């Protein structure tokens, strides 16, 4: 394991038992309360909250990791969400962290559930925020265009169907991350458009997605397949889940989220107004709630 101090924390690499490399980053207070934070899709270990003074004020040590195929983590073709949970436990073992609170947004949400299903004894509290959920054809009218097209391509052609689409989107994002992201979310609700106008959000986005997509679109495509059909069952989640969702979310329609929530053995479902990016306004609220549990 290699960890390098940077002005923004520790940037590390861990060689996993199977020989793959997992890249991670530690933010916030070095000796603070450890919090595992799982970013959305596509995202990287640099998908931090744009105003880290919140983390410093709360005294938390935020740990984030590139999932396989993103950033500096080795790709794992055919992976699901369960294997990522196992990778994260291996990372936390090496960091000497036994029990931990975990929070995951959007595409990170199912990975929170995987941790809570496979390693419940390690999870002290778990929060899902606008979590991704398996979709159906009836959800298509409620989706932004990119997610609707991704769903159709996976449904009809699997990995080979969605990969060319994400290659094209990746190329646009890398040329101009903000413009590429805006195009991908051009039909998102006004609340999300307003978040995308924030300079701090824009700066973090550039760093996050540039690193996430640097190796190619393969990791993104692998994750799209993993999120389409989970390799865990919500019924197997053995930790109480607090799930926050937005009423006007067009990335993950509330109807899809409710289908998962209704299957969780123990859950508190909390609803906001706003869109998929509502979490930008809620970081301190979310972390205070997580730490209190």
For 188-205, the pLDDT digits (tens) are 999 999 999 999 999 999
Summarize pLDDT for 49-98 with one digit per residue, the tens: 999 899 999 999 999 999 999 999 999 999 999 999 999 999 999 999 99
Q: Which two tokens stand for residue 283?
A: 């970081």
Q: In whole angstroms, what is the distance from residue 62 CA to residue 60 CA?
A: 6
pLDDT reading at 5 higher than 70: no
Q: Which two tokens stand for residue 131?
A: 């979590």
Q: What are the domain boundaries of the chain?
A: 2-292
pLDDT reading at 8 higher than 90: no
In words, the CATH class of domain 2-292 is alpha beta
Q: What is the pTM of this model?
A: 0.96
Q: Which two tokens stand for residue 140?
A: 């298509």
Q: In whole angstroms, what is the distance from residue 55 CA to residue 57 CA?
A: 5
pLDDT reading at 6 higher than 70: no
Look-up: residue for tokens 């960890």? 3
Number of Cβ within a 10 Å radius of residue 254: 18
Q: In whole angstroms, what is the distance from residue 251 CA to residue 143 CA?
A: 6
């Amino acid at each position: 394991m290699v960890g390098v101090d940077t002005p923004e924390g520790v940037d590390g690499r861990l060689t996993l038992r199977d020989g793959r490399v997992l890249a991670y980053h530690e933010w916030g207070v070095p000796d603070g309360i450890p919090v595992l934070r799982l970013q959305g899709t596509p995202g990287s270990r640099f998908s931090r909250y744009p105003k880290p003074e919140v983390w410093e004020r709360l005294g938390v040590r935020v740990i984030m990791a590139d999932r396989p195929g993103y950033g500096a983590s080795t790709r794992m073709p055919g992976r699901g969400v369960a294997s990522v949970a196992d990778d994260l436990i291996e990372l936390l073992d090496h960091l000497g962290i036994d029990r931990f609170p975990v929070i995951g947004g959007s595409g990170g949400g199912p990975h929170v559930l995987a941790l809570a299903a496979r390693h419940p004894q390690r999870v002290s509290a778990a929060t899902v925020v606008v979590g991704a959920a398996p979709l159906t054809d009836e959800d298509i009218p409620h989706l932004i265009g990119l997610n609707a097209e991704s769903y159709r391509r996976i449904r009809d052609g699997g990995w080979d169907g969605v990969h060319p689409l994400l290659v094209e989107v990746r190329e646009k994002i890398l040329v101009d991350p903000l413009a590429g992201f805006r195009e991908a979310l051009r039909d998102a609700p006004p609340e999300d458009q307003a978040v995308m106008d924030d300079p701090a959000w824009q700066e973090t986005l550039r760093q996050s997605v540039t690193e996430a997509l640097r190796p190619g679109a393969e990791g993104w495509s692998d994750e799209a397949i993993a999120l389409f059909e989970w390799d865990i069952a919500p019924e197997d989640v053995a930790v109480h889940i607090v799930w926050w969702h937005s009423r006007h979310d067009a990335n993950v329609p509330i109807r899809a989220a409710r289908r998962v929530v209704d299957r969780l053995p123990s859950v508190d479902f909390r609803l906001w107004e706003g869109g998929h990016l509502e979490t930008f306004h809620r970081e301190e609220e979310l972390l205070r709630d997580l730490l209190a549990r």
